[in-house]
Structure 1
Amino acid sequence: MNILLWHVHGSWTTAFVQGSHTYTVPVLPGRGPDGLGRAVTFDWPASVVERTPQELRSAEIDLVVLQRPHEAELATRWLGRRPGRDVPAVYLEHNSPHGGVPDTRHPTADRDDLVTVHVTGFNRLFWDCGHTRTRVIEHGVVDPGHQYTGTLARAAVVVNDPVRRGRTTGTDLLPFFARQSPLDVFGMGTAGLAAHLGLPEDRCRAADLPQARLHTEMARRRLYLHPVRWTSLGLSLLEAMHLGMPVVALATTEVTRAVPPGAGVVSTDPAELAEAVHHYLTDAAAAAADGTRARQAALDRYGLKRFLADWDRLIDEVTR
C-alpha cells in the first residue's frame, strides 16, 4: 500500500511508518506545516518518501490518512481525487475535544465515506461523531529501551508551548511542584519558562532536545511528572514508561488506563501527587521498582507490534 499522510505529529508518525507500507509525505518549499516532508529529529525508514504537490498529481495513492480538517481540501487539489469518494480515507483524530465538551461535534461527523480513528477510548467517548464509523487504535511506541538510571534527584516534565497552553498543560501547577522537586521541563517553546513562572533557574530548567537525546536525559531524572489537565494521551508519558521511569500524573482523560497501580501515582489531588514526588526523591529503590512495572505495562499495552497490526486490519478493511 502507498499511504499519503502529512507530517503532523512526529512521535505518532514515527511509530506508524514502521509498518510494511510505503508512506508518502507532502513537501513544500520552506517545509511549512502543510509540507514538512521527512522528519529531521526522528529516525524514519527509507519507506517514507517525500512528494511535492505536482508529483502527487500522478502518484498512485491507495489510502489517505487525514489528521486536520483542511487536509481533505489539500488532498483533493493535489491528488485530483476526493478522499473518501475517489480514494479510500480515514481521519485520524489525535486530540480530545475542546470547547463545549462533551457536546463538541467532530469535523467528520455524519460522514459515510470514511472512518474516524481515535487514539484513545476517552476521545471516542467525548467526541460527537454522529453516525460516522469510528475505531479506537491506541498508541504504539518505538521502544527506546530500559534506559532509566534516576541518578538526578529531579522531576522530568515534557510539554510543548507551556506558556501559551497554560492551564491545559498544567503550567500553573509547576510552581507548586517545584517546591517539592526541582523540575527539568523539556519541549518546544519552553525558553523563558522559569522567568514566566517566577521561579529561580535551579528549580525550573528548560530545554528543547532532539528525540534521542531527550530520552537519555529523561531517564537520568528520578521520576516523570505529568501535570497536564486536558490532552488526549501524551506520548511523552508512554515514552517515559518505556524508559522505565515511575510516573506521577494527574488522573485526567486516558491517564488512569495508561498508568496501572504499581507503575506510579495517579490522582486529581495535587497534594497527593506532591507526596508521591517526595517519596520517589527520597527512595530511589522504590522509584526504580515502580519504573520497572511502568515499563512492562507500557510494553504490554502500547507495544509497536500490536499498534501496527491494528492499523493493518483497518487498512485492509477500508481499501478492500
Structure 2
Amino acid sequence: MRILIWHVHGSWTTSFVQGRHEYLVPVLPDRGPDGRGRARTWDWPGSVTELSPDDLRATAADGGIDAVVLQRPHEVDLVHDWTGLRAGVDVPAVYVEHDTPREHAVTSRHPLAAQSTIPVVHVTWFNHLMWDCGDAPTRVVEHGIIDPGALWTGEDPSLAVVVNEPVRRGRIAGTDLVVRFGRELPLHVYGMGMAELGQFAPHLAPTLHEDYPQADMHRALGRHRVYLHPYRWTSLGLSLLEAMTIGMPVLALSATEAPRAVPPEAGLLSNDPAQLESRAREWLADPGAAAAAGAAAREHALAHYGVGRFLADWDEILTEVGS
C-alpha cells in the first residue's frame, strides 16, 4: 500500500515506517509542523518519500494513495486541500490518537466522535478508556519499539530524564518534579527546549543535553544508572519504553498507562516523590540491584512492545480499512 502520513511524532513514526508499505510524507519549504518531511534525527528507510502538496495532488490524481493515516484533526482538511480526496470517503483513512484528553475525561469528546467512517486507533488502552469517541469505531494498537540493544552500563551514578519542551508542557510532563529531583539527586535531562529549562531552573543548566540523534541519545542514556519518567498526564511516553529496552531500571508515576507497561521487578511506580527518591538512592548506591531491575525491564519491553507485533497489528487494520 501507498500510505499518506504526516511526520508528527518522530519516535512513533520511525516504528510505523519500518513496515512493508510505501510511505508518503508531506514536505513544505520551511519544514514546519505540516510539512516536516523525512526525519533528520531518526533512521528512516528508503520506502519513505517526501512529497510537496502539488506532488501529492498529482499522485492522488493517478490513484497513487491507498490509505491515509491521520494524527491531528486539521489533517482531514489538509487531505482534501492537498489531494482533492475526502478522507474516509474517497480514500480509506484511520486516525491515530496519541494523546490523553487535555481536559476532564468525563467531558472530553473526541474530534472524530460524530462520524463513523474513520476508525480511531488509540496507542494505549488508557487513551481508549478516557476518550468519548461517540459513533467512531475504535481500536487499540499498543506501541512498538525498535530494539536499540542492551546499551545500559550504569557507569554514571545519576538519573536520566527525556522530555521535549519541558517548560511549555509544565505539569503535564512533570517538569516541577524534574526540578525537585534535580535539587536532591544527580540528574541529567535530554530533549528539545533545554535552553528554556535552564533559564527556568538554573541549577539544572550544567546537566541539560539537546540535539542528540536518536541512536546517540540511546547510548548516552545507557550510561546513566536510572531512568526517571515524571510524566503526570500522557498516554505512555515512548521514552519510557525505549529506556526499558535499553535495559535501564525505571522510576515513574503510577499514572495513565505506566502500571501496564512497568512490572514490579523492572522499577518502582509511585505517586509519592519521596518513595521514588528513596529508590533512586538505593540504585545509585547498588549498581547490582539496578542492573537486575534493568534486565527485567528490557525483557518485559521486548516481550510486550516489540516492533514486529506493532507492525502486524497495523497491517491488520490497514487491510480492514482498505478492503
TM-score grouping bracket, smaller chain normalisation: over 0.9
Give the residue type in structure 2 aligned to 1:23. Answer: Y
Contact 2:153/2:223, CA 8 A, preserved across alignment:
yes
Q: How does 1:70-109 map to 2 (within 5 A)?
A: 70-109=74-113
TM-score (norm 1): 0.97
Q: For each residue in 1:121-147, what CA deviation from the matched residue of structure 2 results, as whole angstroms up to 9, or x when unmatched?
A: 000100010021000000001110000
Query: Does residue 189 of structure 2 align to residue 185 of structure 1?
Result: yes
Give distance in 2, aligned partners of 1:158 and 1:213. 13
Q: How does 1:73-222 map to 2 (within 5 A)?
A: 73-199=77-203, 201=205, 204-222=207-225
Q: How does 1:1-320 map to 2 (within 5 A)?
A: 1-59=1-59, 60-199=64-203, 201=205, 204-320=207-323
TM-score (norm 2): 0.96
Contact 2:41/2:212, CA 8 A, preserved across alignment:
no
Contact 2:143/2:310, CA 8 A, preserved across alignment:
yes
Contact 1:180/1:278, CA 8 A, preserved across alignment:
no
Give distance in 2, aligned partners of 1:194 and 1:80. 46
Q: Identify unmatched segments of 5+ residues in structure 1.
A: none
Give distance in 2, aligned partners of 1:267 and 1:260. 12
- 1:198 Cα deviation from its structure 2 partner: 4.5
Percent of aligned pairs with the same amino acid: 57
Give the residue type in structure 1 aligned to 2:75. Answer: E
Give the residue type in structure 2 aligned to 1:248. Answer: L
Q: Aligned to 2:234, what secondary structure does the other structure show?
A: coil
Contact 1:156/1:221, CA 8 A, preserved across alignment:
yes
- 1:98 Cα deviation from its structure 2 partner: 0.7
- 1:62 Cα deviation from its structure 2 partner: 0.6
Number of aligned residue pairs: give it.
319
Contact 1:75/1:82, CA 8 A, preserved across alignment:
yes
Q: Aligned to 1:49, what secondary structure does the other structure show?
A: strand
Give the residue type in structure 1 aligned to 2:86. Answer: R
Q: Name the structure with the higher helix share.
A: 2
Q: Identify unmatched segments of 5+ residues in structure 2.
A: none
Q: For each residue in 1:53-100, what CA deviation from the matched residue of structure 2 results, as whole angstroms up to 9, or x when unmatched?
A: 111112110100000011010101111110001100000011011123
- 1:207 Cα deviation from its structure 2 partner: 3.0
Q: Aligned to 2:107, what secondary structure does the other structure show?
A: coil
Question: RMSD in angstroms over aligned alpha carbons?
Answer: 1.2
Contact 2:173/2:233, CA 8 A, preserved across alignment:
yes
Give distance in 2, aligned partners of 1:170 and 1:206. 18
Give distance in 2, aligned partners of 1:54 and 1:271. 55
- 1:192 Cα deviation from its structure 2 partner: 4.4
